[in-house]
Chain A
Amino acid sequence: MSTTRTAARTHWVAIRAMLIFTLVLGVAYTLVVTGIGQLVLPAQANGSVARDASGEVVGSALIGQSFADADGDPLPEWFQPRPSAAGDGYDGGASSGSNQGPENADLIAAIEERKSQIAEFNGVAEADVPADAVTASASGLDPHISPEYALLQAARVANERGLPESEVVELVESRIQARDLGYLGEPTVNVLQLNLALAELEG
C-alpha cells in the first residue's frame, strides 16, 4: 500500500517536473534563441540567402544546388557541384549521403562512370579528375568543391561562354576560400557563389 502510494507520488512529481522542463527548455528557450537570432543575426538565422545581380533569391550560400537540366544532364556553361545523394540530387528536403561502403559494386561502378563522364565533359585525362568530383558528399547538399575541381572546369566554362580562359581562371582563383585559421578543414570553392560571380562577369 505505502509502496504504491510512494510510486504514485514520485510519478506525480515527475509529471510536474516534465511540464516545467517542457515549458522552459522546450518553448521558452527556443523562443529566446529565435528572438536573439532574428533580431541580431537575421541573415544567418534565415538561411544565408543568396541573390543574383537583380536581387532575386536564387538559393542559400550554404546549400549546394544542381546545375543540371531537366534530364539531369550537367549544363556546360555552369561550374558543376559534387555528385549528390540527396533525393534526385541536391533535394533540400531530403539531405543524405549514399552510405555505400568501400567495396560496394554500385559505388565502384558509379565512380568509374563519373570519372569518364567528367574527363570527357571537360576534355581532361581521367587521372586528373579529383576525388571530390566523383564522390557524393555526406549531406548531399555540399555547397563546395575543391579548388582543383573548379580550376579543371574553367576551360570548359570559358569556352562555352565565349570568355577568355584566363579571365575565368582568375575568377576561380579569387573565389578560393582558404582553410579556416589556415589549418582547419580544406580549401573550398563555393559553387553557387562562383556561378553568381560568373553570371555577373558577362553582365
Chain B
Amino acid sequence: MGAFLAVAQAATLALILALLYRPLGDYMARLYTSDRDWKVERGLYRLIGIDPRAEQSWPAYLRGVLAFSVVGLLFVYAMQRAQAVLPYSLGLPAVPEGLSFNTAASFVANTNWQSYSPELTMGYTVQLAGLAVQNFVSAAVGIAVAITLVRGFARRGSGTIGNFWVDLFRGSFRLLLPLSVIGAIVLVIGGVVQNFNGFTEVTTLAGNTQNLPGGPVASQEVIKLLGTNGGGFFNANSAHPFENPTAWTNLFQNVLMLAIPFALPRTFGRIVGSNKQGYAILAVMATLYVISLVALSALEAGGNGTAPELAGGALEGKEQRYGIFGSALFGTTSTLTSTGAVNSMHDSFTALGGMMPMLNMMLGEVAPGGVGSGLYGMLVLAVIAVFIAGLLVGRTPEYLGKKIGPREIKLASLYILVTPTLVLTGTALSFAIPGVREDVEATSIWNPGIHGMSEVLYAFTSASNNNGSAFAGLTANTPWFNTALGVAMLLGRFIPIVLVLALAGSLAAQDKVPATAGTLPTHRPQFVGLLVGVTVIVTALTYFPVLTLGPLAEGLN
C-alpha cells in the first residue's frame, strides 16, 4: 500500500513534468534567442537607458549581474531598516542591522535562508516589495547566467554572450510573471490566502482566543516555489495551512519547483541544436532525483530512531494531510532544487532521513537544481566528466564541439571547489573560534549531542549551496550566523556565477571542432552513467568525512 501511494504520487508528478518539458523548454529557447522586443519592453529599455541589441562580452555581462545584485541588496536592506515607517507593517519595528544584512544577502542570492520568524518580523510591504521582488529577479538572474553558458556552447568565434538586461527583463516579465499569476490563482483555489487583513482575533469553538494571520500569501508563495527561492511567508513555510492547504496543493507546489529546472535541458538542447543532448542531461537529473526520492521515502517510512519508534511512526514535524510520502517528496524536491522550502521539519526527520536533504544539497543542487543554477551546475559537471573520459582514453576532451582546454578545466574545477570550501570552513570555524564556539553551543544549537553538530553543518550546506532550508531548531539570528551565513550565501552564489560567465565567454570565443570517430558521444546512456557517477563521486569524496561526524554517526548508533 505504502509503496503504491509513493509511486502513484511520483508518477503523477513525472507525467505533469513530462507534459511541460517540450512546450516550456521550447518557449524558453525562443524567449532567450529571439531578437524581437515587445513595444513595452523597448519603452522600458529606453527608460533604464540601454540598447537591447547591444551584445555584451562576458565581463560586461558580469558587471550587469553584479551591479544589479548590489542594488538589490541595498534595496532590501534599506526597506527592512525603514520598516517602521512603511505602510502595512503590522506595527512591526525596523529589522536589526545584522538580520537585515543576512536577509538581504539571502534573498538576492536566491537562497531565502530565514534567520527570522516572518510573522513576527516582516510586514507586508517588506515581504511584497522587497522579498517577493527578489524572488522574481534572483531567479531571472540564475536563468540568464545558465543561458549564457548554453550560448557559449552554441556560438562560434563570438566575443559576446548576450545582453544581461534583456535576459533579465524577458525572464522576469515573459516567463516568471505570467506563470506566477496562473499559479497564484490555482493556489487561492486550494485555500491559500491573499488579502491585506493583518491578524484577526477570533473566539474559538472552545472559547479560547486565536489570532488568525492574513497577508498577500498566494502571490508570494507561487514565486517562492517557481523561482526555487523558498522563503516562506510564515515561519512554518509550506507546512503552514495558509501556504499549502491540501495534499493536491502539495503536489502542485512540487510541480512549481521542478517545472523550470526540468525543462531547461530542453532549452539547452534546442539552443545547441540537438535535443538529444538535452535528453541526456535530463536523464542524469532524473536518475539522481529518483534515487534520492526513493531513499528518503524509505527511510522516513521505516521510521528508525528512538522517538519515531516510540511514537509508532516518524510523524514528528509532519502534517497529517501530506503524510510521510507527501513530506518526503517535498523535502527531496526542495533540496535537490535550490528552493529550501519545507512542508515538514527536517530537524525531526530520522537521523539518516535527515542526511538526505543534506546530501541533496551537497550534490551541488543539480538534479534538477535551482532555476538556471541547476543547469549551469550540471553543465560544469559535464565538462569535468568529458575531461575525465578524455584522460582515460588519452584524447583532448571536447563537449558539443568545444575543446575543453586548460582554461575551461581550471574554471570548472574552481567552480566545483567553491561550495565545499565554504561549507566545511564555515562549519569548522563555528566550532574552532573560541568565543564563537561557546555562543554556538549555548545559544544556537537546539538539539543536544551529535544532532546539534548536524544543525550547524546543515546551515552552512544550505547557505553555501543557496538552498535556504534548515534544521530549523538552530537559532541562527545571532551575530555569528547572520554574518557567516550571509557571507557564505553571497560567495556561494556569485563566485560560481563569475566562473560560469568566464567559461561561457571562453567557449563562445572558440570555433567548433567537427566530431570525429574519436569524439565521445555525449547523448548516449554511457555518458549519462558517467555523468551520474562523476556527480556522486565528487560529492561523496568531499563530504563523507563530515557526514560521519553527524547524521551517519547518529543513524548508525
Interface residues of A (CB under 8 A from B): 6-7, 9-18, 20-22, 24-27, 29-30, 32-34, 36-38, 40-41, 44-48, 52, 56-60, 62-69, 75, 78, 82, 86, 90-105, 107-108, 111-112, 115, 129-132, 134-146, 179-181, 183-186, 188, 192, 195-196, 199
Is the Cβ of B128 less than 8 Å from the Cβ of A27?
yes
Is the Cβ of A25 less than 8 Å from the Cβ of B247?
no
In the docked arrangement, what's the CA distance between A186 and B1, Å? Answer: 12
In the bound complex, residues from chain A placing their C-beta under 8 Å from that of B245 are 48, 62
In the bound complex, residues from chain B placing their C-beta under 8 Å from that of A63 are 210, 212, 241-242
Known: A33-B218, A46-B214. A58 touches B236 (CB 8 A): no
In the bound complex, residues from chain B placing their C-beta under 8 Å from that of A37 are 184-185, 188, 194-195, 218
In the bound complex, residues from chain A placing their C-beta under 8 Å from that of B168 are 17
A-B pairs with beta carbons under 8 Å apart, 26 shown? A14-B64, A25-B132, A30-B219, A33-B181, A48-B245, A58-B205, A62-B242, A63-B212, A63-B242, A65-B205, A66-B210, A94-B117, A95-B236, A97-B472, A99-B345, A99-B472, A100-B307, A101-B554, A108-B306, A111-B311, A137-B239, A142-B319, A179-B5, A180-B247, A183-B9, A184-B9
| Contacting residue for B447 out of A7, A104, A129, CB 8 A | A104
In the bound complex, residues from chain B placing their C-beta under 8 Å from that of A69 are 206
A-B contact sample (19 more), CB < 8 A, given A95-B240, A97-B316, A142-B319: A22-B133, A34-B196, A41-B185, A45-B188, A46-B214, A58-B202, A59-B202, A69-B206, A93-B213, A97-B345, A99-B345, A99-B447, A101-B473, A102-B316, A102-B451, A108-B310, A131-B311, A138-B342, A183-B9
Interface band, chain B? 35 or more
**B469: CB under 8 A from chain A?**
no
Residues B439-461 near A (CB distance < 8 A): 446-451, 454
Q: Give a binary string over B105-127; 1 marks a CB under 8 Å from any A CB, 0 the rest.
A: 00000000000010110000000
Is the Cβ of A100 less than 8 Å from the Cβ of B473?
yes
In the docked arrangement, what's the CA distance between A29 and B168, Å? Answer: 17
- Shortest Cβ distance from A110 into B: residue: B307
In the docked arrangement, what's the CA distance between A143 and B240, Å? Answer: 10
Is the Cβ of B199 less than 8 Å from the Cβ of A17?
no
In the bound complex, residues from chain A placing their C-beta under 8 Å from that of B5 are 179, 183
Is the Cβ of A27 less than 8 Å from the Cβ of B213?
no
Q: For the complex formed, measure the closest distance between the CB of A28 and the CB atoms of chain B, giving whole angstroms.
A: 10
Q: For the complex formed, measure the closest distance between the CB of B186 and the CB atoms of chain A, giving whole angstroms.
A: 11
In the docked arrangement, what's the CA distance between A195 and B205, Å? Answer: 8
Q: For the complex formed, measure the closest distance between the CB of A44 and the CB atoms of chain B, giving whole angstroms.
A: 5
